Amino acid sequence: MGLKDIADAGSKKGTGLKKFNKDNSKYVIFEDGEAVVGICKGYVPSVDPRNPEKQVIVFTLTIDGKDRIWTTSSKRAIAEMGAVEEEFGFPAKVSITRTGVEYETRYAVKVVE
C-alpha cells in the first residue's frame, strides 16, 4: 500500500491510517467483535511494559503470512491457549475473537482445522 492508496482510503471516513496501521503493525490489532485467524508459533512469558510488576504472555502468530505479536495478561485467554497447546501443540491454527473494550475486553480462542 503506497501513500496514494492511504490517501485514497482515508478519504472514505478516515479509514486509511487505521487500515495502514493494522496492516503494517508488528502487533495483532483487532476491534471489539472482530476475530483474527493465524498460526500460533509459540509464546514467551514477559513483563508488562506498562506495569513492570505484572506478567504477560507474548504469543507469536503468523497472520496472512506476517509474524505478529499478541500480548495478553487475560487469564482466560492464556488458559484457552494453554488448552490448545496441550491438545494440539504449537504451531496450531487458531481463531481469536475479541469482545469488549479496555478493561472489559475478553478473548475467545478456538482451533481452526
Q: Where are the domains of the chain?
A: 1-26, 31-111
Residue 45 has pLDDT above 80, yes or no: yes
Helix axis angle for 3-10 and 15-24, nearest 10°, is 130
Give me the percent of the chain exceeding a pLDDT of 90: 69
**pTM of the predicted model over 0.85:** no
Give the Å distances, CA to CA, from 76 to 79, 85, 105, 108: 5, 14, 11, 8
Fold that domain 31-111 belongs to in CATH: OB fold (Dihydrolipoamide Acetyltransferase, E2P) (2.40.50)
Give the model's confidence band at 19: pLDDT under 50 very low, under 70 low, under 90 confident, else very high: confident
Contact call for residues 40 and 81 (beta carbons, < 8 A): yes
Give me the percent of the chain exceeding a pLDDT of 70: 87
User: Which of 5-9, 47-51, 70-74, 97-101 shows the lowest mean pLDDT across its residues?
Assistant: 5-9
Give the pLDDT confidence score for residue 13 in this predicted structure.
Answer: 58
